[in-house]
Amino acid sequence: MTLSGWEAVFFWIFAIAAIFAGLLTVMARNTVHSALFLISSLVSIAALFIILGAEFIAGVQILVYVGGVMVLFLFVIMLVNVGLEERGDAPIFNRSAQVGASLFFCLLMVGGLLFAVNNGVRALENRDQVKDGPTESPADRDKSLAVTATRTSRLSKETERVGASLYRYAALPFEVASVLLLVAIIGSVMLARTIKQEAATDDLAPEVLQDEAKREPELAPFVHEEGESVSDPNA
Amino acid sequence: MLSTLIPALILVENEGSRLQTVWDKVQHPDLSKFLVIAAILFIIGVAGVLTRRNIIVIFMSIELILNAANLNFIAFSRYLLQTNNPNALAGQIFTVFIIVVAAAEAAIGLGIVIALYRNKETILLDQIDLLKW
């Protein structure tokens, strides 16, 4: 697997963009800026997926991450608006000793990973007897594919193959993933409920509700009903 | 004079050919380049998780880590496709599931952040120390 020509150029552009955007995600003081840098990093990684010939995954990445997860992040950032860090009044990183130790271990991990990648890839290529030099260009590879209506490019068989093998080899995990998403939906709805909503659905213990009602007058109507139903058997 | 010049010239020559091979490698990025990019993204994510105070930024760093793993999977998938391995698409399928799990994790995590903010009025990790002794 060796890229060449424009593929190589775009590989370097998007790789460097992904790394810089990732760095700025971690370094940005404003959380909204962080989220926007993360979006650009994810888009660059999607472009790398396209360079690697995984068009379907790139599309899923854009739709799910940029269209779904990052919008959720931005919603929550707007909801829990913390201005202290953004105005520069508070540090954005932990204590310096903690940061120093973290960076030391990260550097160790960089060394270990680069060493492992270097040796591992060489051993892998020895095992598979990969011939050196660039492989066939994408234009040659796609000659047998149908042309699109605009006649500028060719239709890829990528999505078809991924879909077929997804259902052929991973049908059970696919169904389990749907259950996982259902659990996530229910879990986040339960977690994000306000105390008023909990009181309205009768999910609070009467004592807790009475305590809360002393602080929040909005909860008073719910307490009244609870109080009557509790006090009736006593009377 | 000449005896010192010749080794220097050979050194320059060697340096030139070494630069040439490096330039060749830059022009033809292979599997290892993708793995190195993914490793760097992973480290950036780990550094973010370990050093930032803001929970939301920590979640975003986790997304970065998961994406580095995805990049590795796709790169290996392409590599195996080239060697005509029958299981080459397993990497892409695994990536789909990682994206699903990341979406579920983000939804649950952000739900927890909202509940936390409602109770503690903060999302800075060093101020959420209820479980600390």
pTM of the model: 0.83
Q: How far apart are CA A143 and CA A130, in angstroms?
A: 24
pLDDT in tens, B19-61: 888 888 888 888 889 999 999 999 999 999 999 988 999 999 9
What letter represents residue A135's amino acid? T
Using CA atoms, how far residue A159 sits from A3, A50, B63, in Å, is: 22, 12, 24
pLDDT in tens, B99-113: 999 999 999 999 999
pLDDT in tens, A101-151: 999 999 999 999 999 998 988 888 888 776 554 455 555 566 677 777 777
pLDDT in tens, B5-20: 777 777 777 777 888 8
Q: Is A89's pLDDT higher than 60?
A: yes
pLDDT at A91: 80
pLDDT at A63: 94
Q: Is A55's pLDDT higher than 80?
A: yes
Confidence tier at A48 by pLDDT (50, 70, 90): very high
ipTM entry: 0.85
If phi over 0 gives left and psi between -120 and 50 gives alpha, with beta otherwise, what is residue B30? Answer: beta
What letter represents residue A230's amino acid? V
Find the Cα–Cα–Cα–Cα dihedral B75, A138, A161, A56, rounded to 10°.
60
Q: Does residue B117 contact residue A78 with C-beta atoms inside 8 Å?
A: no
Give the residue from A10, A65, A11, A16 showing the smallest Cα distance to A39. A65
Q: Is A65's pLDDT higher than 50?
A: yes
Most confident of the following: A1-15, A220-234, B66-80: B66-80
Q: Is the dihedral of CA A107, A109, A115, A120 positive or negative?
A: negative
Query: Which residues of chain A lie closer than 8 angstroms to B43, CB-CB?
Result: 106, 109-110, 113
DSSP 8-state assignment for residue A66: I
Q: Does residue A23 contact residue B44 with C-beta atoms inside 8 Å?
A: yes
Tell me which residue in B63, B117, B122 faces A69 most closely, judged by beta carbons: B63
Q: How far apart are CA B70 and CA B95, in angstroms?
A: 5
Proportion of chain A in helix, strand, coil states, percent, rounded to 5: 75, 0, 25
- Across all residues in chain B, what is the average pLDDT? 87
Distance from CA of B88 to the nearest CA of A (A): 10
Contact A36/B at CB under 8 A: no
Query: Which residues of chain A lie closer than 8 angstroms to B106, CB-CB?
Result: 69, 72-73
- Across all residues in chain A, what is the average pLDDT? 83
In terms of pLDDT, which residue wins out, A16 or A94? A16
Residue in this structure with the two tokens 């003081």, named with its chain if needed: A29
Task: Please answer yes or no on whether A11 and B123 come within 8 Å at the CB atom.
Answer: no
Question: Which token pair is B40?
Answer: 């760097």
Altogether, the residues listed in chain B come to a count of 133
Task: Please answer yes or no on whether B29 and A180 come within 8 Å at the CB atom.
Answer: no
Task: Please answer yes or no on whether A26 and B70 come within 8 Å at the CB atom.
Answer: no
What is the chain B residue with the closest CA to A128? B83
Query: Which residues of chain B lie closer than 8 angstroms to A124, CB-CB?
Result: 31, 79
Distance from CA of A231 to the nearest CA of B (A): 30
Q: How far apart are CA A28 and CA A85, in angstroms?
A: 10
* CB pairs A-B closer than 8 Å: 245
